[in-house]
Amino acid sequence: MAARRTAIVFGANTEVGKTLCSAALIKAGLRRFGRAAYLKPLQTGVDDDHAGDAALVKRYAAAGLGRCDTLHAWRAYASPHVAARQEGGQIPSDAELARAVSGWMRAGDEPFGVVETAGGCLSPTATGRPQADAYAGLDVPALLVGDARLGGISCSLCAWEALVRRGFDVRSIIFVGDDAALGNAEAVRAVTGLGDGVLSTVAPPPLPEPLGGWLSETAECFDAVCASVL
């Protein structure tokens, strides 16, 4: 039986908090359904010091997490198309990647699933093409993690437009560690018309400090995000 409800998490840029939001969304799914699953289709920068994003999600998800998988991983800390070329081997086509993600969504018995993309929404797959193109046919609701930094308004709106133009149903946009003085969430809310679907969280502690406190503090926020993608 397929995961009945799956959300795909995109970022407006790299290092905006996609994995933190994915972990928090998994926690919200566990609170709501009791079980959940996580997938990272493309992962780079995996080495002895960094086990990958799935490892962080697994660490904080606690009981109830089912599958916690990575489809393709490369050691180089670079874009997937660069990392894949550097390491050689077979490079999955975008069609193969989309089929694998779709198959993962159909497999398993978890009632809720999260697919976390890599980098920004138009960051390339291993083929060099924008990943949003590869995932456009999945027909699942999307969460966009906005860029809370100075300059993040334009970056976040460009990402939102790119997803909407490709047919994604963007239910929520969330800014991690948003500084209200910059006005990022306010500006994005006004343009997108998402209203309460544009949310902000307090800043998380710098890794590798524990995230348990941040996950607890933002639980209500991500419960709302979880409800929005159902």
Tens-digit pLDDT profile for residues 162-209: 999 999 999 999 999 999 999 999 999 999 999 999 999 999 998 888
Domain residue ranges in the chain: 5-228
Predicted confidence at residue 18, as pLDDT, reads 97
Helix or strand or coil: residue 127? coil
Predicted confidence at residue 137, as pLDDT, reads 95
Alpha-carbon gap, residue 108 to 171, rounded angstroms = 25
E-strand ranges in 26-64 read 36-43
Of 18, 27, 40, 58, which is the active-site residue?
40
Helix or strand or coil: residue 7? strand
Judge if the upstream peptide bond of residue 208 is cis by omega within 30 degrees of 0. Answer: yes
Predicted confidence at residue 1, as pLDDT, reads 38
pLDDT tens digits, one per residue of 14-66:
999 999 999 999 999 999 999 999 999 999 998 866 778 999 999 988 788 99
| Residue 222 in tokens | 């991500």
Predicted confidence at residue 211, as pLDDT, reads 92
Q: What is the DSSP string of 148-173?
A: -STTHHHHHHHHHHHHHHTT--EEEE
- Reply yes or no on whether 27 is catalytic: no
pTM of the model: 0.95
Alpha-carbon gap, residue 10 to 155, rounded angstroms = 13
Q: What is the average pLDDT score of the chain?
A: 94
Domain 5-228: which CATH class?
A: alpha beta
Between the alpha carbon of residue 135 and those of residues 25, 80, 117, the distances in Å are 20, 15, 9
